Structure 1
C-alpha cells in the first residue's frame, strides 16, 4: 500500500527564501565593512613604510653629521690664518686655493671657501671655475653671521652662484683670541633625490617654514605645505635662501583615518593625489622628512578583500542551496522506498534461498582462493630469499677476489723468501719482501679508498700555519720592500705554529700592517721593520710589526681603528685598512692592538688562539 507523501514544495520554497535573505545580509555587511577594511590596509601600509622613513631620515642625518665637524677642523690649519693676515700674498693664495680644491675632492664636498671678517671670499676650492666664489661677499648668509657671533654656523639654501641646493657648515678662523674670518663647506643633497626616484613613494623634506627643500618631485621644489607669514618671506628674501617667485602654497588637506595614520590630499594640475604620510624629524637641521605613499594599492587590496568576501558569501549560499536541494531529493527517495518496501520484502524472501546456496558456493571458492594465495606468498618469499642469497654470493665473491689475490701472492712471496733466506740468497729474499710490501699497499689502498669516501669537509675558520702565511706576505710585499730599500728583521721560534683563522684573510691583515709600517717611514732613506712571533702565557700566539717612524699621538690612538680615520695625506688612503683588519681579527676570536715603542716608532700586535690541539684532533679524525 502506497503511503501518502506530505507536501514538501512549500517548505523547500521557504528555506530557499531564507537562504537568499542570509546571503543578501552577508553581502550588505561586507559592503558596510569596506571603510573599516580600507583603514586597516592603510594602517598596515603606513606601518610598513615607517621603515622607509627611518632609512631616509638616517641617511640624511648621517650625511649632515659626517660634514658638520669639517669646518672646525679646517679652521685649525695655520695656512688659513697666515692667508687672512696677508690676503694679498700672491705666493700663498694659489697654494691655499689648490689645497682647498684637493681637500674638497678627497672629502667629496661641493665647495670649501674662506671669507674674511667682512664676509668677502678670498680663497675657494672652485677658484678654477667661472662661477668661483672668490671675490664674492656672503656676509648676508646666516652661516657666516652665526659663525662670527656664536662660533658655529649652518644653513641650507639655493646657491646664488652655482644654482645648486646645498647645506652649509661654517666655523670661525681664530688667531689666539681674534676672529680673522670664517671657513665654510657646502655639501650637495640632490643625490638623495635621485635615489628616491627609484622607489614607489614620494619623499620630501621641509624646513621649519614648511618650504619643500628636497623632493623627488621637481615640480614641488620650494612649494610649501601651508601658508607662509609675511615676516618669513622677508627673512627668506634677506638671506636669499630661496627665489621668492618660486614659493607657492600647495593645496593640501589633512585627514586622520586611524590612530597615527594621516591622509594627505594634494590638488595638482593633473588632478587630486592622495597619499599616506609618515613624518620624521631631523632636529639638528630643523627638517621634517615626509614619506608619501600612494593610497591606490592599499585601497585596491581592500576592495579585493571585499570582492572575496562577497564571493565567499555567494559560494556559501550556493553550497547551502545545493545541500537543501539534495536533502529534498533524499526525502522524496525515502518516500518512494517506503512505497516499494513491502514488495521488496516479498522478493527478498523468494531470493533468500537462492542466495544461501550461492553463498555456500562462494565460501568454498574463497577457501580455495585463500589456499592458492598462501602458496603464492610462500613461493614469492622463497624467490626473494633466493635473490638475497645470490646477491650475497656475488658480493662475497667480489670481496674474496679483491683480498684473496694479494693475500695468495703475499703467502707465495713469503714462502719463497724463507727458502731464499735458508739458502743465503739475501738480496733475492729482500726483493720478495718488497713485492710483499706492494701487495700490502694494494690492500691498504682499497681500505684507504673506503675510509676517504666519507671524509668531512674543512670549516671556513680553522687551523692556519702561521709561518707559511707570513712568508707568503713577505713574498707579496717583496717588490715594495725593495723599492723602499727597507730591511726586515724576523724573530720567530723554531717549529710549526698553527693559529685559528682563515689563511687569505690573515694574509690581508699582515699585508695591511706591513704596508702601514712602510708608509710611516716613507721619508726615511733606510727604513727598518721588525717582526716578532712569540707565544703568550695565555695560550695564544702574538705577531708584532714594529716600525721606526714618528709613533702615534694620543688623538690618533683614540681613533686608530675607526672607519675613515687616516693620518695620511689626501689621496693616499681612505682610513679603512685598520678598521677592516680589526674586524677580521675579531672574527678569528683574536685581538688587534697598537702602542708606541719606548725607543720610537709604533708596534701593531695581532693575538690569535693556538690551534695545535685542533690540528692534533684533525689528524686523529683523519686516521
Structure 2
C-alpha cells in the first residue's frame, strides 16, 4: 500500500497521541508499584527503630523493683519525719537517676504522696505531689510491676513511667517510680531518610521525629476516649489536635498517606505493631522518589517510543521517496532503458551493502554490550548453574531409584544455589543504586555498637572476637546511621574473611576523633592489589565467595558522607581500613 507524505505524518501523529494517553493512564498504577517497593525498603529501618525502642524500654523495666529493695526506703516510709534518712534517700535517688540516665526517680507512700525524689533540688520536683490517680501507682500498690506512657503534668516532659511496690515483709508500704524522657528516642530518629511516629491504641501520636505531630490524633477521638485521657492526665487535653491524614492501602503493612497542611505532604507509610505495648510504630518516607521513578520510567518509555516512531517515519518517508523515484525511473526507462538498468543495478548493490553494514554494526554493538556484562557476571553465575545442573541430574537418578532422602537433599542444594544467585543479583542492584539519601549528625559510638551487634551472630557461629574500647566521650559525625552501619559491618566481615585460616580471629576497632580503623591479622594486601581494592568487581576471594562490590559500595557511601575510605598494610601484619568522617555539631537533647 502506497502512502503520501501527508498520510504518513497523520499516522505518526495518531500513534504518538495514543502513546501519550496510554502513558498518562498507566502512571497511577506505575506510581503505586514504586510506592510498594519504597514501603518494602522502609521496613528495614523501621525494624531497627522498633528494636531500638523496645530495647530501651526493656532496659528500664527491671530498675524500679531493684531500687525498691533498698532498706532505707522502707525505713523512710515507716518514719517520714526522719530528716537524716530523708536526706540520704533523696541524694541516693538523685545519684541513681544520674547513673541510669533517668528523668526522675521518686518514692510515694501508700496515699500516693511523693516523699522523696531525685529532683529534690529542682524547682519542678515531684516532692509533695500526689499521684494516686495514675494507673501505674494503683497497679504497683496492688503488688504488680507496671508501665505507663504519659505527658508529665509537673515538668511538661513526655515521659514513660515504670513503678514497683516497696515492701516491708509481706506488707506494701509505698511505691517506687522511675521516669525517663521519651524525647531522647526522637533525637536519634531525626536525620533519617524517613519520619517516624508511635501511636497508641487510639491512633494518638505521642512520639515522633516531627515535633509538629506531637499530641495529634490521626483519626477523630470519641468523647469517651477524651474523658479517659483527661481523667488519667495522660496527655495535655488542651493540646490535643487532629492530624488531617488520608490513607490509601498499598498492602497489608503499607499505605500511601496525604497530610493536609501548609504545604500538603505526601508519604509512603510502613507500620509495625508492638502487640505487647498496644502501640503501632510507623516509618513515613516522602512519596516524591516513587513519583520520580514512575515519571522516569514513563520518560524512558516515551523516548523509546519516540525513537521507534522516528524510525518508522524515516522508513515510510524513504519508501514514499523510493516510490516516487521508481515512477520517475520507469518514465526514464522508456528512453534510456539500458543506462537506467545499469544504474539501478549499482543502486541496488549499494543499498544491499549499506543494509549489510548496518546489520553488522548492530550485531557488533549487541556483542560488545553482552561481553561487558558477561565479563563481570559469567564466572559468578556459571559455577552455581553448573552445580544446579549436577544436583538436578543426581535428583533425577535418585528419584528413579526411589531414594527420596538423597533426592530431597539435592533439591535443597538446588534451592540454596538459587538463593546464592539471588544474593549476587541483589548486590548488583545495591551497587547500581545512586547514593542520594539524606545525611545528618549522628553518634559514631552508637553506630559502631549497632554494627557489632549485627556481627555477633556470625561470631557466635564461626568463632572470633572483636577488640574495641569505646571512646569515653560522644563523637558526633555527619552521615546516615543505617548506611554507615552497613560500611562497618562490611569491613568487619572482610576482616573475618581475611583471617579465615588464623587460629585466633580478632578484629581490632579503634576510634581516634572522627577517624575509625578496622584491622585484621591476616596475610595483608598485595602491593599490586592496593590500587584496585575499591574497584567494582575486583576481589581476592575464592570464586563463588563474593562479587567484589562490598568495598566499592562502602567507598561510595563514605564519599557521600564527605569522608574517605582507604586501605593499607599494618607494620605488625594484616590490613588496616581507615574511615575518615566529617565532624558534626551535637544534637541538643531536651532537658530531663
State TM-score, norm by structure 1.
Answer: 0.52
Alpha-carbon shift at residue 59 of structure 1 (Å): 1.6
Q: Distance in 2 between matches of 1:346 and 1:205?
A: 85
The 10-residue stretch of structure 1 (258-267 or 156-165) with the greater mean CA deviation from structure 2: 258-267
CA distance in 2, matches of 1:588, 1:162: 57
Number of residue equivalences: 354
Q: 1:501 to 1:187 in 2, by over 3 A?
A: closer
Q: Give the conservation status (yes or no) of the 8 Å contact 1:114–1:182.
A: yes
Partners of 2:79 and 2:183 in 1: CA distance: 37
- 1:12-411 to 2 correspondences below 5 Å: 14-257=7-250, 260-268=253-261, 270-329=262-321, 339=333, 342-343=338-339
Answer yes or no: is the 8 Å Cα contact 1:57–1:281 preserved in 2.
Answer: no
The CA deviation at 1:143 is 0.7
With over 3 angstroms needed to count, the CA separation of the structure-2 counterparts of 1:62 and 1:259, relative to structure 1, is closer
Residues 161 and 258 (structure 1), Cα distance of their counterparts in 2 relative to 1, 3 Å cut: closer
Q: 2:314 & 2:83 partners in 1: Cα distance?
A: 100
Q: Distance in 2 between matches of 1:134 and 1:591?
A: 55
Residue 190 of structure 1, CA deviation: 0.7
Deviation at 1:149, TM superposition (A): 1.5
Separation in 2 of the partners of 1:346 and 1:134?
114
SS of the aligned residue for 1:310 comes to helix
Contact 1:20–1:317, Cα closer than 8 Å, also in 2: no
Distance 1:156 1:587 in 2: 52
Answer whether contact 1:501 1:588 (CA < 8 A) is retained.
no
Residue by residue over 1:36-69, the C-alpha shift from the partner in whole angstroms, topping out at 9 and shown as x without a partner, is 1111111111111122221222221111111111
Greater shift in the superposed pair: 19-28 or 213-222: 19-28
Query: Deviation at 1:177?
Result: 0.8
Counterpart-to-counterpart distance in 2, 1:30 and 1:315: 16
Distance 1:241 1:501 in 2: 48
Q: 1:254 to 1:17 in 2, by over 3 A?
A: same
Report if aligned partners of 2:253, 2:271 keep a CA contact under 8 Å in 1. no
Does the CA-based 8 Å contact 1:97-1:127 persist in structure 2?
yes
Alignment of 1:513-552 (within 5 A): none
Task: Please report how far the alpha carbon of residue 290 of structure 1 lies from its aligned counterpart in structure 2 after TM superposition.
Answer: 2.1
More deviation in 71-80 or 301-310? Answer: 301-310
Cα distance change, pair 229–16 in 1 and its aligned pair in 2 (3 A):
closer
Name the CA shift for 1:180/1:588 in 2 (closer, same or farther; >3 Å): farther
3-state SS in 1 of match to 2:76: helix
- CA distance 1:231–1:147, shift in 2 (3 Å): same
Q: Is contact 1:262–1:276 with CA below 8 Å preserved after alignment?
A: yes
Distance 1:43 1:501 in 2: 39
CA displacement 1:287-325 (0-9 Å, x = unmatched): 211222222332233123223322222221112212233
CA distances 1:413-446 after superposition (whole Å, capped 9, x unpaired): xxxxxxxxxxxxxxxxxxxxxxxxxxxxxxxxxx
Q: Contact 1:114/1:184 (CA < 8 Å) preserved in 2?
A: yes
Structure 2: how far apart are the matches of 1:128 and 1:109? 16
Partner secondary structure for residue 91 of structure 1 = helix
Report how far residue 252 of structure 1 moved: 2.7
Preserved CA contact (<8 Å) 2:143 2:172: no
Choose 110-119 or 283-292, whichever is displaced more.
283-292
**TM-score (normalised: structure 2):** 0.54
Which range moves more in the overlay, 21-30 or 43-52? 21-30
User: Whole-Å Cα distance in 1 between the matches of residues 263 and 300 of structure 2?
Assistant: 31
1:335, distance to aligned residue in structure 2 (A): 7.1
Equivalent pair of 1:83/1:92 in contact (CA under 8 Å):
yes
Task: Give the match's secondary structure for 1:182.
Answer: strand
Pairs within 5 Å for 1:423-438: none
- Using the TM superposition, give the Cα deviation of residue 176 of structure 1 relative to its aligned residue in structure 2, in angstroms: 1.8
Q: Greater Rg, structure 1 or structure 2?
A: 1
For residues 342 and 279 of structure 2, the distance between their equivalents in structure 1, rounded to whole angstroms, comes to 98
Unaligned 5+ runs, structure 1: 1-7, 348-499, 509-585, 593-623
8 Å Cα contact 2:254-2:271 kept in structure 1: no
- How far the C-alpha of 1:169 sits from its partner, in A, is 0.3
Q: Give the secondary-structure state (helix, strand or coil) at the position aligned to 1:290.
A: strand
Distance change (3 Å), C-alpha of 1:316 and 1:64: same
Shift of 1:181: 0.8
SS at match of 1:321: helix
What CA distance in whole angstroms lies between the structure 2 residues aligned with 1:255 and 1:277?
A: 10
Q: CA 1:95/1:295 → structure 2, altered by over 3 Å: closer, same or farther?
A: same
Displacement of 1:123:
1.5
Gaps of 5+ in 2: 344-462, 470-499, 507-592
CA contact (8 A) 2:143 2:164 kept: no
